[in-house]
Amino acid sequence: MKKLAVILGALLASALLAYTAAGPFITLYQIRSALETQDTEKLAQYVDFPVLRENLKAQINNLILSKVPDGLADNPFGALGLAFAGTLVDSLVEGYVTPGGLSTLLAGRLPDVLPEQPDASLTETQPATAPVAEPQFSYDSPSQFTMRLNISADNAIRLVLKRTGFTWRLTNIILPFTP
């Protein structure tokens, strides 16, 4: 009887470990499936939209601040411009982190409102091409997983999934021009 309990325990532990290891791949498949069927309720189960929006806002705000010349923030008009830029970033991210926006990123393209290079125009559109290479996957830690989608030879979008318990959710998209 003890042997049976040990064997069942080992099988259960192995199955749990296998499910945890396969979890990010299952989550990415579910995200893609929800995007294809435009099922926003299903997508919300696999994407932590509030955390994702905050992470993207922080990235874009850091990019803007890294491009600001020294002393501009001390200038009253410069500070006002930075405040408007922050508001603009907030509204752009809020409007773009949607199922359609995620679909564009998962296709290996940047949104029309985001530059491929930091110095490119914000109104420049991206060609509808496939990613340069196959996606690359890596476990950053037992509770963090990254998928890298190449959009050109030099740039890639990284999707970051975090694990809570046995569930994985998309929590960050690291854009290629982040400083």
Q: 90-99, 102-111, 145-154 — which is least confidently predicted? A: 102-111
pLDDT (tens digit per residue) in 99-133: 777 777 666 666 665 444 444 433 334 444 444 56
Q: Are 170 and 52 in contact (CB under 8 A)?
A: yes
Helix, strand or coil for residue 1? coil
Kindly tell me if the per-residue pLDDT of 8 is higher than 50.
yes
Kindly tell me if the per-residue pLDDT of 164 is higher than 60.
yes
pLDDT band for 29, please (50, 70, 90 cuts).
Answer: very high
The two tokens of residue 140 are 């950053």
DSSP string, 6-38: HHHHHHHHHHHHHHHHHHHHHHHHHHHHHHHHT
Q: Are 153 and 93 in contact (CB under 8 A)?
A: no
User: Model pTM?
Assistant: 0.72
Burial 142-159 (b: 16+ CB within 10 A, else e): eebbbbbbbbeeeebbbb
Q: Are 136 and 157 in contact (CB under 8 A)?
A: no
Which amino acid, 4?
L
Kindly tell me if the per-residue pLDDT of 157 is higher than 90.
no
- Percent of the chain topping pLDDT 70: 74
- Burial classification of residue 178, based on how many CB atoms lie within 10 Å of its CB (0-12 exposed, 13-18 middle, 19 or more buried): middle
| pLDDT, greater one: 12 or 91 | 12
| pLDDT, greater one: 145 or 165 | 145
Can you say how many angstroms the Cα of residue 97 is from the centroid of all Cα atoms in its chain? Answer: 10
* Nearest Cα to Cα of residue 103 among 176, 177, 43, 178: 43
